[in-house]
Amino acid sequence: MTDPSRSDILRLPALERTREPRRALISAYAVVRALSIAVAVASCAWMLVVGVQRWGFVRVPSLVGEPVADARETLQRLGLSPDVVQERYSSEQPGVVLEQLPAPSVRVRRATEVRLIVSGGVQGIAIPDITGVSETTAREKLEYLGLQLRIVNEPSEAEPGTVISTTPAAGTIALAGETVTVYISSKENLATLVDYSLKGKKVAIYPVYSSAYAGTDLTLEIARRLSSLVQAAGASAKVTRSYSEKSVSAATSVARARAAGAQVYVQIDLESDETTGMVVASPTRKDATLGQYAFRALQSQLGGVGYATKSLSSPVSAGKSVRLILGNAQTANSQITFGDTQWRDKVARALYTAVGQYLTK
């Protein structure tokens, strides 16, 4: 047996293996070529994006209702050019976009100018005098000021198709978005009014505000019509409550009428808790008073008018003042009657006749 610890054992040299060099899976040329192609593609894509941004088409976004600062940012991000061309008073907050041109979704070239009309906020607007103009002209003027229109055709002696009056009247301060009732002359004929000569006379009219009637400001509308009629006859007229006022007390009305030097005083109001129709209320039952003249004129024009003796706060004596209760706003019949513009005109004309008869007796 051989002793493994012996040093004379023959030791063989370590084996050496030779390895052939491996061939590269991807040649350097191919790598360079691929990189070149990638760079070229990226360059083309970048140029395409830049080209579209500069010269391509986009759809105009919807901007109405957006703050103008946000609208500008949106347009600039799309490569469009914002241009605020006008501020218009409206019920929207200041700076909110009201209109745009081009309209939303229209395809336009980048750098196209998008015109914006923005809100100037709520502000008092003096209603212009549009008496005598056509309906089209009246609409253009009022809508330009940010006011809404309600057209009512009325029989009149004025040229058909022209504006007779407005409610609120010209010069009244209204808020943007409010509705102006525009009365347009129709071809239907009315009985000719007596042309009283009231030059130098002074009339005060107190239209008591009532929320009982949900339609127009009824008492003020009739007061405005009466005012127009007496002024046309040469008198001065003071309506003691404006369109924007909802709570003018009797004492305030009397003070305003007294300051205007009123010679006669007409109060117009509504009843909300009684089932009566139209009633003429006079502080006195004496004959040849304004109350008596009003009762006769209204009875002749409308019929079914009641008469009562009631006290009335007035700047003038009892015989020179009258209170007209139009009716009970809570009844269905009254609601229908109050909505009839010809009925309102008849009431105003009857009161004008009463005032004219009393002041010229």
Condensed to tens digits (0 to 9), the pLDDT of residues 296-330 reads 999 888 888 888 888 899 999 989 999 999 988 77
- pLDDT score of 52: 47
**Which of 354, 258, 271 shows the shortest CA–CA distance to 314?**
258
Position with higher pLDDT, 47 vs 267: 267
Q: Which of 68-72, 235-239, 283-287 has the lowest mean pLDDT?
A: 283-287
Give the mean pLDDT of 255-270.
Answer: 94
Dihedral sign computed on CA atoms, order 136, 141, 143, 144:
positive
- pLDDT score of 273: 56
**pTM for this predicted structure:** 0.51
CA 280 to chain centre: 36
- pLDDT score of 1: 47
Work out the mean pLDDT of the chain and round it to a whole number: 81
Position with higher pLDDT, 131 vs 277: 131
Q: Does pLDDT of 274 surpass 60? A: no
Q: Name the DSSP letter for residue 159.
A: P
For residue 58, list its beta bridge partners: 108
Q: Does pLDDT of 226 surpass 50? A: yes
- pLDDT score of 252: 94
- pLDDT score of 270: 85
SS3 250: helix
Q: Is 36 exposed, middle or buried (0-12, 13-18, 19+ CB in 10 A)?
A: exposed
Measured CA angle at 295 (ends 287, 259), to 5 deg: 80
Strand order in the sheet with 179-186: 148-155, 179-186, 163-167
Please name the amino acid found at residue 287: D
Measured CA angle at 217 (ends 216, 219), to 5 deg: 125
Position with higher pLDDT, 190 vs 349: 349
Radius of gyration of the chain (CA): 42
Q: Cα separation of 166 and 177, whole Å? A: 16
Quickly state the pLDDT bin for 276 (edges 50, 70, 90).
low
Task: Name residues whose C-beta falls within 8 Å of residue 283's C-beta, 6 or more positions apart in sequence.
Answer: 291, 309, 310, 311, 312, 314, 318, 321
Residue 35 in tokens: 């990189």
Instruction: Residue 309: count other Cβ atoms within 10 Å of its Cβ.
Output: 11
- pLDDT score of 284: 84
* List of E strands, 41-176: 57-59, 81-88, 97-101, 107-109, 113-119, 124-126, 148-155, 163-167, 173-175
- pLDDT score of 44: 58
- pLDDT score of 125: 82
Domains of the chain, start order: 57-119 (3.30.10.20), 123-190 (3.30.10.20), 193-359 (3.40.630.40)
Q: Cα separation of 147 and 34, whole Å? A: 68
Give the mean pLDDT of 280-289.
Answer: 85
Dihedral sign computed on CA atoms, order 90, 94, 96, 97:
positive
User: In angstroms, how far is the first alpha carbon of the chain from the final one?
Assistant: 168
- pLDDT score of 238: 94
Give the mean pLDDT of 93-98.
Answer: 88
- Dihedral in degrees, nearest 10, Cα atoms 250, 251, 255, 258: 60
SS3 156: coil
pLDDT in tens, 17-67: 555 555 555 566 666 666 677 766 666 555 555 544 455 789 999 999 999
Please name the amino acid found at residue 335: Q
Q: What Cα–Cα distance (Å) separates residue 59 from each residue in 74, 75, 80, 170, 181?
A: 12, 10, 10, 44, 40
